[in-house]
Amino acid sequence: MNKRVRLVLFFTILLGYSINIIAQNTHEITLSITDSVVVRKKVKKSYKHAIKVNAEISVNGLHDSIVLYFFNKYVSSDFSGSSDFKRFTTGLLYIIENINGNIMSANFQFFSYKNSKIEEKIINSRIFVSPKLRIEGKLLNEKEQLDYDIAKYVIDAKKQRLELFPVLGKYHSYNLPKGEYHIYFVYSCYPDRLKSYGLPNEESTFTGYFVSNKVKLIIE
């Protein structure tokens, strides 16, 4: 194979690879918090309460539906406090910054269970939020756990309103004093994560990264 043929083959393969990447990311997704300010009111046992955030998700030039995996409306946070979300996170997360723009690290607790039945119950439970914004753990069967974990969200309109529930009580109950902060959401999903769950990486599946706007969060 002469040099010219090798070059043609190389650029053909490169072009095909580029087209494949573009096909997976042909839409720009915008997630916007529509609340001008979010307030967490003073409550007893704040570690058992979430907050509600109103949001809108929009896609320019949407023709077919788009699927987001790991997009759960009961939103957890980032443990590490790292700003490198593309590398270290998957799915939808909420982030809190102080007035200086520093990320408030989430709680990270390890538990030791003496009773194996209690441990099994905790492992097989998932977080939900009641209408009164109380954080509740619900015991799920294997299929329900998988559905919860992959959290499939379908975008089938150019603009969709949604409610998100950051579970502040679980991740920021002890290290978030009264005051003013900023809250926003980040989303990240890549083919290797889909593959680890046996999920299809199709044209309708969004792979990539986006960040919402920031709004003021007041902790009373």
Q: Of how many residues is the chain composed?
A: 220
- The position carrying tokens 């299929």 is 143
CA dist 63 and 192 (Å) reads 26
- Predicted pLDDT at 218: 96
> In angstroms, what CA-CA distances link 212 with 53, 89, 148, 155, 207?
12, 15, 23, 16, 16
- Predicted pLDDT at 81: 56
Residue 165 above 90 pLDDT?
yes
Residue 167 above 50 pLDDT?
yes
Residue 3 above 70 pLDDT?
no
What kind and span of H or E run contains 101? none
Domain ranges of the chain: 27-219
CA dist 23 and 191 (Å) reads 13
User: What integer is the mean pLDDT of 165-183?
Assistant: 90
Assign 200 a pLDDT band (cuts: 50, 70, 90).
Answer: confident
Q: Which two tokens stand for residue 191?
A: 């083919």
C-beta atoms surrounding 183 within 10 Å: 25
Pick the closest to residue 144 from 129, 128, 156 (CA basis): 128
Has this prediction a pTM greater than 0.85?
A: no
Contacts of 148 (CB under 8 A, 6+ apart): 72, 126, 140
Q: Per residue in 53-108, pLDDT tens?
A: 999 999 988 888 999 999 999 999 976 655 566 666 789 999 999 999 988 888 75
Q: Which two tokens stand for residue 115?
A: 């009773």
Contacts of 127 (CB under 8 A, 6+ apart): 74, 76, 135, 136, 137, 167, 170
Q: How big is the CA angle at 135 (ends 141 and 149), to the nearest 5 degrees?
A: 40
- Predicted pLDDT at 9: 42
More confident residue, 175 or 110: 175
DSSP string, 30-94: EEEE--SEEEE---TTGGGB---EEEEEEETT--S-EEESS--SEEEE-SS--S-HHHH--EEEE
User: What integer is the mean pLDDT of 118-126?
Assistant: 82
Average pLDDT, the chain: 83
